[in-house]
Amino acid sequence: MKLYKKNKKPDMHKFINFAALSITLLLSITPLIAQVQDSTLTYDEAVSIALRENIQIRQQENILETARAERAQAYANMAPSLNFGATGQRIYGRQFDNTTGRFTEQKVDRLYGGLSAELTLFNGFAIVNTIKQRQKAAEAQFYQINQSKQDVIFSVSQQYLQVLLNQELLRIAKSNLKQQNELAASIKIFVETGTRNIADQYNQESEARKAALSVVEMENQLTVSKVQLIRTLQIDPFENWIFTEPDFNEEIVLEERSSMEDMYNTAIANRYDLKQQTNNIDASKYALRATKSLYYPNLSLGYDLYSQYSNLDEENNLEKQLFDINNSQVISLRLNVPIFNNLSTRTRIQRSKQELNNAMLDLEDLERNIFEQLQTAIADYNTAQERIVAAEAQVKAAEKALEAEKERFRLGVGNILDLNRVNAAYVEALSTQAQANYQLIFQKTALDYYQGTLDNSL
């Protein structure tokens, strides 16, 4: 006979309590999740992140560490070199043993050891010039890092301002869409009451759909610009990043005026790429001098300490043989005079000369580029200042025209086509003003960048 255990009925009261508790916890956690996903980022924070995470800057810093290590090694060449060597042997067959002074056919165990040191007294000042060359190379790499930081700041400022501009254009597009929808609703009422033609309703509905499409396009442009900035900053792409407006005094910028000569002198004094190239030229000069030292004699002082042990000398133990009986010391003065080395020195000197000539040509080209960059930047900056004034006047005129056309339309003497045309001009004026505002900030940033004075804030 089989016995079946009766299933226990679930406690509904406990189940309801558990479900209520779960829902409460979920509702309390949800705002926290949303809070984590929404992150605000200022311009200064964006620049700091870019400078910290940029791959090229980190690679340049690694190169700087290598340059500093090479500089330390150049200084170390002024000290004597010191080496120790030891050799152990087991020899079979007939042989001559230095420790006993006789031939033997026994199995012999031998141990040789030695300490050698060498100090360069003169090598045509190659060591001194190499030290200076490595020092200038390290300084050039340091300026390369700073120039890379300027490049990163300039790139981030471009992308950040593009995001802010697209945000403003999206706001304008949404505001226009709202007005178009409100106007479409009003015209629909007018049509129903018989005060307006049905064609006006269709035309306005078409304008509203066009405005909605413009919003979609602006949202897409904003998304693309955000993706590019997030990629540059290498931040979490799954968070909803909110980019804030930087503090920017437009009135001060509009009043700024500087001469081309002053800006060029500022650039010459501050441009890191110019300082880098100057140090590269100095490094090439010292490298050429170090190469020419190969024509000079080389004089060095040497010291050698040798000792050996053999198991054939049964009267003396290992310690006595190595440190007392069999050790020898040699002090030597070595002179090496180069006579002919298959033109290798001449070839190396020619190579160093051409590297120096190319470095000087690069500096000349850079100085010309700086002048051209500043000329273009100043012209663009002055144009951006004038564009601000013109855009402001355009917005005021378009706003007054829109108000007048709305009044004409309300009184029934205007038509929907004229109203849409004037409204489109007003929206275009707002967009032009937004672009002019951010273009002014960008041109001010570009001007600072080409002068080498760009910092982490706008």
Mean pLDDT of 230-250: 86
The least confident of 63-72, 301-310, 369-378, 449-458 is 449-458
Q: In sequence order, which residues have a C-beta less than 8 Å from that of residue 66 and are 6 or more positions away? A: none
Q: In sequence order, which residues have a C-beta less than 8 Å from that of residue 40 and are 6 or more positions away? A: 241, 242, 244
Q: Which two tokens stand for residue 150?
A: 């300027």
Cβ proximity of 203 and 188 under 8 Å: no
pLDDT for res 339: 92
Mean pLDDT of 214-235: 94
Q: How confident is the model at residue 172 (pLDDT cuts 50, 70, 90)?
A: very high
The least confident of 18-32, 69-83, 124-138 is 18-32
Q: Which two tokens stand for residue 268?
A: 């010459």
pLDDT in tens, 353-410: 999 999 999 999 999 999 999 999 999 999 998 999 999 999 999 999 999 988 888 8
Cβ proximity of 125 and 289 under 8 Å: yes
HEC assignment per residue over the chain: CCCCCCCCCCCHHHHHHHHHHHHHHHHHHHHHHHHHHEEEECHHHHHHHHHHHCHHHHHHHHHHHHHHHHHHHHHHCCCCEEEEEEEEEEECCCEEECCCCEEECCCEEEEEEEEEEEEEEECCCHHHHHHHHHHHHHHHHHHHHHHHHHHHHHHHHHHHHHHHHHHHHHHHHHHHHHHHHHHHHHHHHHHHHCCCCHHHHHHHHHHHHHHHHHHHHHHHHHHHHHHHHHHHHCCCCCCEEEECCCCCCHHHHHHCCCCHHHHHHHHHHHCHHHHHHHHHHHHHHHHHHHHHHHHCCEEEEEEEEEEEEECCCCCCCHHHHHHHHCCEEEEEEEEECCCCCCCHHHHHHHHHHHHHHHHHHHHHHHHHHHHHHHHHHHHHHHHHHHHHHHHHHHHHHHHHHHHHHHHHHHHCCCCHHHHHHHHHHHHHHHHHHHHHHHHHHHHHHHHHHHHCCCCCCC
pLDDT for res 452: 93
Cβ proximity of 203 and 417 under 8 Å: yes
Residue 201, amino acid: Q
Residue 328, amino acid: S
Average pLDDT, the chain: 87
96 phi and psi, to 5 degrees? -105, 130
pLDDT for res 92: 86
pLDDT for res 27: 46
| pLDDT for residue 41 is more than 50 | yes
Task: Give pTM, 2 decimals.
Answer: 0.79
The least confident of 65-74, 85-94, 148-157, 327-336 is 85-94
Residue 223: other Cβ atoms inside 10 A: 12
CA distance 446 to 330: 68
pLDDT for res 16: 44
CA distance 249 to 440: 11
pLDDT in tens, 422-448: 999 999 999 999 999 999 999 999 999
pLDDT for res 108: 84
